[in-house]
Amino acid sequence: MIDKEARQFTRFFLAGAASVEVDKQGRILLPAVLREFAGITKDTVLVGVGSRVEIWSKDRWEGTVTYQDMEEISKHMIELGIGI
């Protein structure tokens, strides 16, 4: 059984998920509400997260993720019993 906090954490991040179709040229069209939420206006970053892919605004990704953040996130994941 996964810890309650881990379930809430996962639910928070998956709540904005949307199904999209791939066109004949391999492109996807993100719904406007998700583009606005992510601040996507031009360049994006695709981030593999387990069996999912996150799409970030390049500017937000570069401004959000730091080495120090990764160290703290890793420690918290270990505390929750989440291993990668």
Residue 47 CA to residue 64 CA, distance in Å, equals: 13
Q: Is the pLDDT of residue 14 over 50?
A: yes
Q: Which residues contact 68 (CB under 8 A, 6 or more apart)?
A: none
Residue spans of beta strands (DSSP E) within the chain = 44-49, 52-57
Total structural domains in the chain? Answer: 1
- The CATH number that applies at residue 65 is 3.40.1550.20
Report pLDDT digits (tens) over 23-54.
Answer: 999 999 999 988 998 899 999 999 898 888 88
Cα-based distances in Å from 20 to 2, 27, 31, 38, 49 = 29, 10, 8, 16, 18
Please provide the average confidence, as pLDDT, over all residues in the chain: 84
Containing domain of residue 8, as a range? 4-80
